[in-house]
């Protein structure tokens, strides 16, 4: 891992601790807020996490580092692991959008690893952004043939 991937890893570790406390929102409030843009605002801990992950993945994309792209993608796709919905896990699932922009940097021989990691995402977190990621991976795989 390089410095950028290390930073993403550290960010995920810190967020895992900071955002794991109880939240006072029902699942329907979460769903309404995330998918309609209505409802309660995102908590500051979630906003900071999402913005920082985006900044770091943008830097990886801009620098064109294939190793970082693979490592960051695998790390992002490693969460959530739980099959029980939580607000924190929905934030993790939203981060899949950052993997999409890294897909062009992933070497052909590493695409299988990324697809395997995507296969392990619990079904309940396969929102539209996940489907967009799978489409980007499929298109990328087709261009290698």
pLDDT surpasses 60 at 38? no
Q: pLDDT tens-digit profile of 112-127? A: 999 999 999 999 999 9
- Report the pLDDT value the prediction gives residue 83, as an integer from 0 to 100: 78
Residue whose entry in the numeric block shows the structure tokens 């309940």:
124
Cβ atoms within 10 Å of 41's Cβ, excluding its own: 8
Confidence of residue 36 (pLDDT cuts 50, 70, 90): low
33 pLDDT above the threshold of 90? no
Residues 103, 142: contact at Cβ < 8 Å? no
140: its two tokens: 């990328």
Query: Which band of pLDDT confidence, cut at 50, 70 and 90, is reported for residue 143?
Result: confident
Q: List the domain boundaries for the chain.
A: 3-144
DSSP state of 133: H
Structure tokens at 117: 């990691």
Against a cut of 0.75, is the pTM above it?
A: yes
% of the chain exceeding 70 in pLDDT: 84
- CB neighbours of residue 105 within 10 Å: 20
| Cα–Cα nearest to 137, from 101, 108, 111, 119 | 111
């Amino acid at each position: 891992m390089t410095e950028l991937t290390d930073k993403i890893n550290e960010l995920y570790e810190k967020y895992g601790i900071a955002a794991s406390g109880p939240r006072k929102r029902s699942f329907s409030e979460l769903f309404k807020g995330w998918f309609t843009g209505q409802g309660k605002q995102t908590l500051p801990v979630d906003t900071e996490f999402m913005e920082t992950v985006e900044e770091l993945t943008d830097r990886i994309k801009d620098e064109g580092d294939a190793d970082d792209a693979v490592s960051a993608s695998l790390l992002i796709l490693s969460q959530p692991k739980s099959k029980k919905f939580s607000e924190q896990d929905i934030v993790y699932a939203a981060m899949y959008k950052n993997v999409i922009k890294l897909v062009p940097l992933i070497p052909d021989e590493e695409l299988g690893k990324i697809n395997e990691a995507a296969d392990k995402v619990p079904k309940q977190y396969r929102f539209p952004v996940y489907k967009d990621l799978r489409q980007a991976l499929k298109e990328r795989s087709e261009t290698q043939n």
